[in-house]
Amino acid sequence: SVDSTIGHYAAYLNKWSARSYNQMVLEVPNFVISQNTHQVSQKDIFSILDNTECDLAYFDPPYGSNNKKMPPSRIRYAAYYHVWTTICLNDRPRLFGKAGRRADSSDKIAASVFEEFRRNPKTGRFIVVEAIECLLKNTRAQHIILSYSSGGRATADELNEAIQKCGKVKEVIEIDYRKNVMADMRWTSEWVADAETPNIEFLFLIEKD
């Protein structure tokens, strides 16, 4: 690790850390050559759902925060890891702010609906919950794996309701990052109670109706 941060690049330490003097080495990934066809897209997920059909879809949306006073701009991947975007693109972007972030990682440009912390004024529901429900409903796959954190904006009951509208949960895997323990369990109401515990990530195997 070569940096002078606390783990992300939205802010930096006041003094240079010891590891900031290490030599940075970027290794070439071990690419696997395959004859299989695939497609990579960087579009908005909702713009490709109608034209994408598969057996299994895996979604790992940004979780945002369940802190009502924390806007999405403080927990977005684009803002926290903008340096890696610059390294990958090898460009010279326009910068802003004390941290020298990329202009395209600003609050108004890089916000994700899955990190939205507000409620829909028309329905009273959290916007992120409606987005997850729309995502699951319009995915053209028989099975879906959805990753979500107990620290996300969607509450356990709201997430459970959204899932039940679109299909059935066949299995849930809980990953406790605080204890670094993984445990399997079949679908019961137990995960709803566990969702109140910090640092729990859930993997839901969903079968579409």
Please give the pLDDT value at position 1.
76
Q: Is the pLDDT of residue 117 over 70?
A: yes
Contact, 17 vs 4, CB < 8 A? Answer: yes
Higher-pLDDT residue of 31 and 144 is 144
pLDDT digits (tens, 9 = 90+) for 56-84: 999 998 776 555 555 554 456 778 889 98
Each residue's pLDDT tens digit, 151-194? 777 777 888 889 999 999 998 888 876 544 444 444 444 544 44
How many angstroms separate the CA atoms of 103 and 110, rounded?
9
Q: According to the model, what pLDDT value does residue 21 have?
A: 94
Q: Considering all CA atoms of the chain, what is the largest pairwise distance in Å, rounded to the nearest integer?
A: 56
pLDDT in tens, 41-52: 988 999 999 999
Across the chain, what does the average pLDDT equal? 82
Per-residue confidence at 91, pLDDT binned at 50, 70, 90?
very high
**How high is the pLDDT of residue 93?**
95
CA distances from 149 to 30, 46, 54, 175 (A): 30, 21, 25, 9
Compute the distance between CA of residue 96 and CA of residue 114 in angstroms, rounded to an integer.
24
Domains in the chain with CATH codes:
39-67+122-208 (3.30.950)
